[in-house]
Structure 1
Amino acid sequence: MTKTQTLTQTLGMKLIEVSEGKVVMTMPVDERTRQPFGYLHGGASVALAETAASIGTGHLIDPDTQICFGLEINANHIKSKRDGIVTAVAEAVHRGRSTMVWEIKIRDEEGKLICLSRCTVAVVPKKP
């Protein structure tokens, strides 16, 4: 990650694990990630899901010749949360040459499902 402030840093996301086809990240549920009514903002969950999928794709491509961008994401917000930590586990379900599809499950500290997301990430050649 770069030294400049990014959304990842602003929302307090932490990278826990990156392996072949799997990424684990955490994010706090606090004043940075809550909506006006005091619950985890769905957009924050989506940001966590897409970040995990993008990092996972970045790990699987050639960084010298390729770059990746989120192409499509959907999310089902299953359960609300007021505080604590959520953990995203992203797993690759499709690894193509031009797209990768990831399933991301975001759970609370008790393992309860908070959000279920699917993200398609585009893989494109880097411009010279």
Structure 2
Amino acid sequence: MYSFIIYTHVISAILSIGPFFVLFPLLNRMKGKSEEALNSQIEIFQAAIRIVKHAGHVLVGSGVLLVWQGNWPWTTSWVIMTIVVMFGSVFFLARAFRPNIRRFQNGLIDVDELVRRLRRSVWQYIFLLLVMLWFMVAKPNIW
């Protein structure tokens, strides 16, 4: 059963970071598009974010099971740091994408500003995910 949980954890980690790399070509195509074409691309962008969000739920659940079934105490530094970064990424994800898309839909920012903000947010979120991935793989002893 432990091997299945590890497999689930790895697959959910891939699904929680992989779609972000697909978003870069989409963001490049969003510039200079008509409103109808842009709306369909925004829907694709939001669908990718939903995939990441749900994969993150599986990732957290399988991670909890792995720590519980493994010999890692919850007070281990890499476990605590993973949780800290994870909570930070949850708040970041909630504020990074949807509010900017709403600002665009309400006419508060233009397409170029939307693309710039979304691209910056994608890179920031990838960085957060890679930090969490480093904690989980390297398991550094920080204290």
TM-score by length of 2: 0.28
Structure number with greater CO (CA < 8 Å, separation at least 6) is 2
Greater share of helix: 2
Larger Rg, first or second structure (1 or 2)? 2
